[in-house]
Amino acid sequence: MEYKKNPSKDLSKWKGALTHLGLAMSIGAVLVAFEWKAYDESPLLTITDQNSNWEEDFIPPITFVTPPPPPVVPPQIQVIDNAVKIDQLEFPNIDIDLPSNEPITAIELEEPPKEIAPEIVDFTEVMASFKGGMEAWYNYLKTNLKYPRQEQKLGIEGTVILRFVINTDGSIQDVEIVRSASEGLDQAALNVIKNSPNWNPGKNGGRAVRSRMTIPIKFKLN
């Protein structure tokens, strides 16, 4: 059995009209959405209101402008020909007030006196000596003279001759080696003389003088 459509209930003939109507409604809805404005419910700030402190909140920044330094003017050098005399040149007048009544005298400065060290003599009437005599000198050497270990291991022996100056107060200075034995023996002899206590100074005419003394120090292994 075949069904037939009722011409009065056929909606296909309204298809174009309904399509145009829906398109028009969509475009209208889009335009209304773009034109809609939202407003906050908070009250607006009145610019003319006297209680508003917006001017106090805005503080303009303070800027300092440093003026540029003055330009540096280079000195002007005047070239003068060698043929021109000094009298022909123009110089500014410089007045110097000098006392006319008082004569100008030159002050002579005296040189400070130079200290001259007493003369060192090689021979004296009374020779300088170690305090306590030769026995005290030998005891001092036995106690303070150290035989170097290197020379002991190598079996080095020898005699070091030294020369030094005894001052008027008995102190010793200018110790030097006249004859060397070895580096270690020389240093040991120097140390024992430099660390020596004061001596009895030499005398000439009953007066203490600076004298030069030469003594040998012998190193020998037992």
Q: Are 165 and 211 in contact (CB under 8 A)?
A: yes
What element of type H or E holds 215? Answer: strand 207-219
Full domain range(s) for residue 149: 120-219
- What's the pLDDT tens digit per position in 118-164? 788 888 999 999 999 999 999 999 999 999 999 999 999 999 999 99
Read off the pLDDT of residues 165-205 as tens digits, 9 standing for 90 and up.
Answer: 999 999 999 999 999 999 999 999 999 999 999 999 999 99
Helix (H) or strand (E) holding 174, with range, is strand 172-179
Domain count along the chain: 1
In a domain, 50, yes or no: no
Residue 38 lies in a domain: no
Task: Give domain status of residue 107, yes or no.
Answer: no
Q: Which helix (H) or strand (E) segment is 216 a member of?
A: strand 207-219
Q: Does residue 207 lie in a domain region?
A: yes
- Domain assignment present for residue 63? The answer is no
Residue 140 lies inside a defined structural domain of this protein: yes
Query: Which CATH number belongs to the domain containing residue 124 in this structure?
Result: 3.30.2420.10
Average pLDDT for the chain: 77
Over residues 87-97, mean pLDDT: 57
Instruction: Report yes or no on 85 lying in a domain.
Output: no
Residue with the bigger pLDDT between 190 and 58: it is 190
Residues with Cβ < 8 Å from 216, sequence gap 6 or more?
159, 160, 161, 162
